A and B are shown apart, each in its own frame.
Chain A
Amino acid sequence: MSMTSMRERLVAVGSRPPGEPIAPRNFHARDVVVLAGAIGASLGLTWLVYSQILPLQGLQGFLIIWAATFFVMYYLAVRDIDGPVVARDRVMASLMTVLTIAVVIPLVLIVSYVTIKGIRFLHLAFFTTTLADIGPLSPSDESGGLHAIVGTLEQVGIAMVISVPLGVITAVYLNEVKGRLQRPVRVFVDAMSGTPSIVAGLFIYVILVSGKGFSGFAAALALSILMLPTVTRATEVVLRLVPDGLREASLALGAPEWRTTWRVVLPTARSGLVTAVLLGIARVVGETAPLIVTAFGSTTLNVNPFSGPQAALPLSTFHLFTSSQQADIDRAWAFAFVLIAIVLVLFVIARRSARRQFGR
Chain B
Amino acid sequence: MAAHIDESPTDQAIPRKVVAVRTRADKIFRTLASGAGASTLILLALIGLFLFLQALPALKDAGWSFLTTSEWLPPPRGTSDTYGVAALIYWTVVIALIAMVIAVPISIAAALFITEYSPRWIRGPLTSLIDLLAAVPSLLYGMWGAEYLRQRMVGTSEWLSDHLGFLPIFKPTSPFPIFGPSAFVAGVVVSLMVVPITTSVIREVFSQVPPGEKEGALALGGTKWGMIRAVVLPFGRGGIVGGSMLGLGRALGETIAILLIISQLFVIRANVIEQGANSIAAHIANAFGEASGLALSALLAAGLVLFAMTLLVNVGAAAIISRSRSGAGVEI
Contacts and interface: CB of A to CB of B under 8 A. Distances in A.
Interface of A: 24-25, 57-61, 85-86, 88-89, 92-93, 95-97, 99-100, 102-104, 106-107, 109-111, 113-114, 166, 169-170, 172-174, 176-177, 179, 181-200, 202-203, 206-207, 225, 228-229, 232, 251, 256-259, 261, 279, 282-283, 285-289, 292-293, 314, 317-318, 321-322, 332-333, 336, 339-340, 343-344, 346-347, 351
Given A172-B33, A183-B322, A336-B143, 9 more contacts: A104-B129, A169-B33, A191-B311, A192-B44, A202-B300, A251-B1, A258-B25, A288-B255, A336-B140
B113 A100 contact: yes
B129 A61 contact: no
The 7 tightest CB contacts between A and B, nearest first, are A286-B137, A196-B253, A190-B318, A258-B29, A89-B223, A173-B37, A99-B109
Interface in B287-332: 288-289, 299-300, 303, 306-307, 310-311, 313-315, 317-319, 321-322
A282 B44 contact: no
A283 B196 CA distance: 13
Interface in B1-53: 1, 22-23, 25-26, 28-30, 32-34, 36-41, 43-44, 46-47, 50-51, 53
Contacts of A185: 37-38, 40-41
Nearest to A261: B29
A312 B329 CA distance: 47
Given A170-B39, A225-B43, A198 B255 contact: yes
A320 to B, nearest CB: 10
Interface string B174-213: 0000000000000000001001000100000000000000
B155 interface: yes
Given A58-B156, A258-B29, A318-B139, A199 B260 contact: no
Contact of B41 (A100, A188, A197): A188
A25 to B, nearest CB: 5
Contacts of A177: 29-30, 33-34, 37
Contacts of B28: 258
A99 B136 contact: no
A195 B155 contact: no
Nearest to B23: A256
Contacts of B284: 198, 202
B225 interface: yes
A98 to B, nearest CB: 8
B30 A283 contact: no
A51 B288 CA distance: 48
A257 B29 contact: yes
Nearest to B325: A186
Given A58-B156, A194-B249, A339 B36 contact: no
B159 interface: yes
A172 B228 CA distance: 37
Contacts of B224: 25, 89, 92-93
Contacts of B32: 169
A286 B155 contact: no
A343 B137 contact: yes
B272 interface: no
B220 interface: no
A100 to B, nearest CB: 4
B139 A194 contact: no
B253 A197 contact: yes
A314 B33 CA distance: 34
Interface of B: 1, 22-23, 25-26, 28-30, 32-34, 36-41, 43-44, 46-47, 50-51, 53-54, 105-106, 109-110, 112-114, 116-118, 126, 128-133, 135-141, 143-144, 146, 148, 152-153, 155-156, 159, 192, 195, 199, 221, 223-226, 228, 246, 249-250, 252-256, 260, 281, 284-285, 288-289, 299-300, 303, 306-307, 310-311, 313-315, 317-319, 321-322
A194 to B, nearest CB: 4
B152 to A, nearest CB: 7
Given A198-B285, A321-B260, A340-B136, A110 B152 contact: no
B34 A292 contact: no
B25 A256 contact: yes
A58 B160 CA distance: 13
Nearest to A96: B113
Contact of B155 (A60, A107, A229): A60
B113 A97 contact: yes
Given A96-B117, A191-B311, A199 B143 contact: no
B54 A191 contact: no
Contacts of B246: 190, 194
Contacts of A172: 33, 36
A289 B36 contact: no
Interface centre among A25, A190, A287 (most CB of B within 10 A): A190
A190 B126 contact: no
A22 B299 CA distance: 66
A161 B156 CA distance: 48
Nearest to B53: A206
Nearest to A314: B139
Contacts of B30: 177, 179, 257
A103 B133 contact: yes
